[in-house]
Structure 1
């Protein structure tokens, strides 16, 4: 691009510059820089290195620049080079994408990539959502909804307290750790990745059963293609896989008016440290769906649910998870002659659920609970 085709002459024999001590600018990059324009230096630049197709959008994201008209037309006509036989390696693509998502203009930049055709070449799984209609709670097709969820996520990241009153400081701490904000943007963009594959019509209703599970599996393939770090791919995949959980839990909360300690424990065990992020993803998902069939005040309901979940977690769940177990594997082997295996995990989870519910408070009560559990298991076996 003209803006990075400028130079100054250094004296090879010393630390200073050579005369005339001016910027060498044969392509007019200084003028384009001042005007905020991205202009190619030659019609061959994208053929020479197709990564420049993506780098143009990275400059847009980081600098706020716009594509000059002829450059934009050239980019659109050659967008398929990004995944062609001479296209860049996945790791190089990921490096540019990561910088786009880390910027404050990720949403507008990704939309520009979609309009130019580049996004569809990079992520055909995402492009498959174009034209896929959704139930009346939505006003956009699947692709547009994913893009809108990214837009809403950027709003959330800028002011989490505006959407989750009273939780701004804790969410800000969460976002400050391990690039959580950037990963949430990815999760928002890909949260409904699985919908096109499972779209069906049942009794006149559009359904997407298990789309979160299918989407998480599809994202894992995508992450390998672009050489994601394993831990980051797992975090985003977990958020995609669990993104419907707050909505299902909200249905129960609206009916019963309470989140039970057992339900809270199951959620916390499943999502781990990503609890704030999961609710931010659910909020972005809700904000991105504004169809006439959407339940009223869903965002307010999600905020109230998060209040309840955090209160239940603090009062009932964390005390159990942070204290030593009442029984350990040695106890199960010695006292009940059990061999290590999957049943250990079932017992430990069941004990934790009984503890958070206040049904088991001591080692003796834990032993009695295991005896009852094993008797029930034997009865089922027969």
Structure 2
């Protein structure tokens, strides 16, 4: 195992030269674990333990390579150097020895060290054995209690690695579950985000819910709520098979600055209260961004209306209100409609299929209207002042265009004049 592991960890692959690390110095954590697993990383996320002057070492490396420098914890002497394609964290060794430091970590698979100067693997807690067994094993109950986020992190790492949680560790997590309420909401939100991001996380976030780790944060979630998460995955797969473009959109982030996908957002909507205002309060307490809160509340409000929108006018207003949130909205509508019986038949999507087709067609004037005239055009042509009436006229023109009643600027102006005359 070790030759290939050492090759994966070789300093030649680092964003900085080995000569900048004092002796001794050790790489620890996820990078070592993933190297042993043979997992490739596009983005290096390195962690180093240094017996002394960790921040000084980090600052010197950042200065030499003109990289970003962040002091993460002045008391514990932890700093981060940010490179274009990597981050490297440097932490002061806790305790009198490396082994003492490793014994303070969360799980054995994360308590393996690599000395790049000697190319030696240090594994006092037999984490390599647990990697071979695909097991997540705690180092001690007190370590989990010291930072209760580790309780939830066990489920996230099990999902990401395809591991199981060792039975004694699982029992300890259940016993300590109430401690999770001590953790800041934003830290919990990050772990939940990982679990919602893919189908691999679904059984584990469900397990976390069953074990009492989510109750303080999702007070309205029930066993049915977690059942819906699996249904989201099933429906998303079917949607992707029938409309690959929509499947691609489900994997897009809500925004570039918000690392939640539309698929993850639809799952999150299943865990909050279905009433939008109540859901908004829950999400705000969990420190979700304004964009995420708005998207979820919009989807919750609109999805019950989708199958009732049988006229062009109704569909026009739905698409206008939904915008890009349609991706999550249609997924929720399909999920709630198919909880009891699996989707089947020649057209399992029923009344939703035409709506999906409209949304995916950029030339469809119901889902993607184009403006024939501007508000200024209307005010000049009809000699009317700025007022809400202008907006109402533009809306009626948009609906008429979607219905095929107008198609030119002149026809739009004529319609506006007729509406003003008859009002």
C-alpha separation in 1, matches of 2:384 and 2:147: 62
The Cα offsets for residues 161-184 of structure 1, whole Å up to 9 and x where unpaired, read as 55xx3x2x2223323432698432
Corresponding residue number in structure 2 for 1:271: 322
**CA 1:352 to 1:322, structure 2 compared with 1: closer, same or farther past 3 Å?**
closer
1:122 aligns with 2:201: no
**CA 1:39 to 1:341, structure 2 compared with 1: closer, same or farther past 3 Å?**
farther
The Cα offsets for residues 67-100 of structure 1, whole Å up to 9 and x where unpaired, read as 222222221121121113xx2x222222211112
**CA 1:97 to 1:170, structure 2 compared with 1: closer, same or farther past 3 Å?**
same
1:150 Cα deviation from its structure 2 partner:
1.0
Question: Which of 158, 161, 166 is matched with 1:68 structurally?
Answer: 166
- 344-353 or 152-161, larger mean C-alpha shift: 152-161
Structure with the bigger percentage of strand: 2
1:222 Cα deviation from its structure 2 partner:
2.9
CA RMSD for the aligned pairs?
A: 3.0
1:351 aligns with 2:351: no
1:342 aligns with 2:417: no
1:56 aligns with 2:151: no
Does 1 or 2 have the higher relative contact order (CA < 8 Å, sep 6+)?
1
For residues 5-154 of structure 1, the aligned pairs below 5 Å read: 5-11=111-117, 16-17=118-119, 21=120, 23-84=121-182, 87=183, 89-126=184-221, 143-154=222-233
**CA 1:299 to 1:90, structure 2 compared with 1: closer, same or farther past 3 Å?**
farther
1:232 aligns with 2:292: yes
**Which ranges in structure 1 are unaligned for 5 or more consecutive residues?**
127-142, 195-210, 250-258, 291-295, 378-382
C-alpha separation in 2, matches of 1:69 and 1:321: 53
1:192 Cα deviation from its structure 2 partner:
7.2
**CA 1:185 to 1:353, structure 2 compared with 1: closer, same or farther past 3 Å?**
same
C-alpha separation in 1, matches of 2:356 and 2:150: 45
Structure with the bigger percentage of helix: 1
The normalised TM-score by structure 2 is 0.65
Corresponding residue number in structure 2 for 1:256: none
Q: Tell me the SS of whatever aligns to 1:8.
A: strand
C-alpha separation in 2, matches of 1:316 and 1:99: 36
1:159 Cα deviation from its structure 2 partner:
4.3
The Cα offsets for residues 195-239 of structure 1, whole Å up to 9 and x where unpaired, read as xxxxxxxxxxxxxxxx5xx2x223332332233233333333322
**CA 1:57 to 1:312, structure 2 compared with 1: closer, same or farther past 3 Å?**
closer
Corresponding residue number in structure 2 for 1:137: none
1:319 Cα deviation from its structure 2 partner:
8.2
CA contact (8 A) 1:220 1:237 kept: yes
The Cα offsets for residues 317-357 of structure 1, whole Å up to 9 and x where unpaired, read as 4389454x333221333344444343333221111111121
1:46 Cα deviation from its structure 2 partner:
2.5
C-alpha separation in 1, matches of 2:405 and 2:138: 70
Corresponding residue number in structure 2 for 1:327: 373
C-alpha separation in 1, matches of 2:293 and 2:234: 23
**CA 1:265 to 1:317, structure 2 compared with 1: closer, same or farther past 3 Å?**
farther
C-alpha separation in 1, matches of 2:270 and 2:302: 9
The total of aligned residue pairs comes to 312
Q: Tell me the SS of whatever aligns to 1:330.
A: helix
Q: Tell me the SS of whatever aligns to 1:105.
A: helix
- 115-124 or 266-275, larger mean C-alpha shift: 266-275
For residues 174-189 of structure 1, the aligned pairs below 5 Å read: 174-178=249-253, 182-189=261-268
CA contact (8 A) 1:246 1:302 kept: no
Question: Which of 240, 245, 248 is matched with 1:170 structurally?
Answer: 245
**Which ranges in structure 2 are unaligned for 5 or more consecutive residues?**
1-106
CA contact (8 A) 1:2 1:38 kept: yes
Question: Which of 344, 360, 365 is matched with 1:318 structurally?
Answer: 365
- 110-119 or 360-369, larger mean C-alpha shift: 360-369
Question: Which of 408, 411, 418 is matched with 1:362 structurally?
Answer: 408
C-alpha separation in 2, matches of 1:179 and 1:83: 28
Q: Tell me the SS of whatever aligns to 2:216.
A: helix
Question: Which of 335, 351, 362 is matched with 1:284 structurally?
Answer: 335
For residues 198-277 of structure 1, the aligned pairs below 5 Å read: 211=274, 214=275, 216-249=276-309, 259-277=310-328
